[in-house]
Amino acid sequence: MSPESINLQGKRVCVTGGAGFLGSFVTEKLKSRGANVFIPTIEEYDLVQQDSIRKMLNDSNPEIIIHLAAQVGGIGANREHPAEFFYNNLMMGVQLIHEAWKRGVEKFVALGTICAYPKFTPVPFKEDDLWMGYPEETNAPYGLAKKMLLVQSQAYRQQYGFNSIFLMPVNLYGPRDNFNPESSHVIPALIKKCLEAKASGAGSIEVWGDGSPTREFLYVEDAAEGILLATEKYNSPEPVNLGSGMEISIKDLVELIARLTGFEGKLVWDTSKPNGQPRRRLNVERAEREFGFKAQVSFEEGLRRTIDWYKAKIGMNS
C-alpha cells in the first residue's frame, strides 16, 4: 500500500544541492510549508564519498531526502567531461539512496533528467518510452548515470518497501540561474550574449547549431512546486516528467531573447557545432493526474523575470 500524503510541517528534510539554482527555490518553499531544512554544502560534504554521505546523514538525521545535487552543464561541458559526469552523478546518487534506506529514511525524492530519454523518442516524451533506445550521445553518460537511480529506486521499493520516487524535470530556467559561459545552459548563455553584444554595440552574436532543434523549458519556481507536490503526494515506482508541455525551436528562442533584451544585431549560426537532441517536449499528464502539478508561469513572462534579475545582478539599467 502506498503511504498517505505527507504533511511537511515540522519534517526534517535534507536537500542535497539545496544551495544551488533549483535547490534555493525548493528550500524556500519547504520553509514556507514549515519544514526543518538541512542544506549540506559542497565544501563540508563531498557526496561522491561514502564517508561524507554518512556524516551528512548523521548531522541532518533526515526523515525526507530530496536529492538535487548533480554535476551538470550544457553540451560543451558534457562533451569535455563525460567520465566525471557519469562517475560523480552515479556515485552520489547510488550511495545516497543505499545509505538512506539503511537508515530508515521515510521518503527519498530522486531527481533524474530528461537527458535519460532515447535520442529519438516519440514526441511528446512519455515516461513509458524511457527504455526505447540510447540517449543522445553528447549527454548520454550524464543521462544514464541518472537513469540508474530510477532502477535503484524501483528495486529498493520492490525488495525493501523503500519509498523512493523519481522525477524528471525538463530544462529549467529563471532567476539565480548559472550565467557562467563555460557551463551555462542555453537560456542564460543567450541572455548574457545578447546583453553584452547590445552594451558593446556588436553587430552580431554567434549561436551553436542550425536553430532547428526544439526544446521545452520549465520556470524554476514551477519546478520547485512540482517537486514539493510530489514529495507530499506521490508514492509510486513509475518515473514522472515535470514540464510545461510547451515546445520552441532554438531559432525562435534566440529571436525571442534578442527581442526581450533589445539586441537588434545579426544572428550567426555556427553549424559546425552540435545541435543536441532533435526535439524535446514532454507528456506532462502523469504529474497532473498523480499529484496535481501544472506549470503556472508563461514562457515569455518567465524570460522577462530572468532577464530583469540578471540585469539587476550585473547592475545594468533596464
Helix ranges (H only) for 161-316 are 186-200, 220-233, 250-261, 285-291, 299-313
- Quick check: is 45 catalytic? no
Indicate if the alpha-carbon torsion angle 15, 115, 150, 240 is positive or negative: positive
Q: Is the peptide bond before 124 cis (omega within 30 degrees of 0)?
A: yes
Cα–Cα distance for residue pair 85/240, rounded to 1 Å: 22
DSSP per position, 22-60: HHHHHHHHHHHTT-EEE---TTT--TTSHHHHHHHHHHH
C-alpha separations of 267 from 53, 185, 299, 304, 307 in Å: 46, 18, 21, 20, 19
Amino acid at 58: N
Cα–Cα distance for residue pair 22/14, rounded to 1 Å: 14
Catalytic residue among 117, 142, 173, 219: 142
Q: Are 38 and 59 in contact (CB under 8 A)?
A: yes
Q: Identify the three-state secondary structure at position 214.
A: strand
Residues facing 70 on adjacent strands: none
- Residues taking part in catalysis: 142
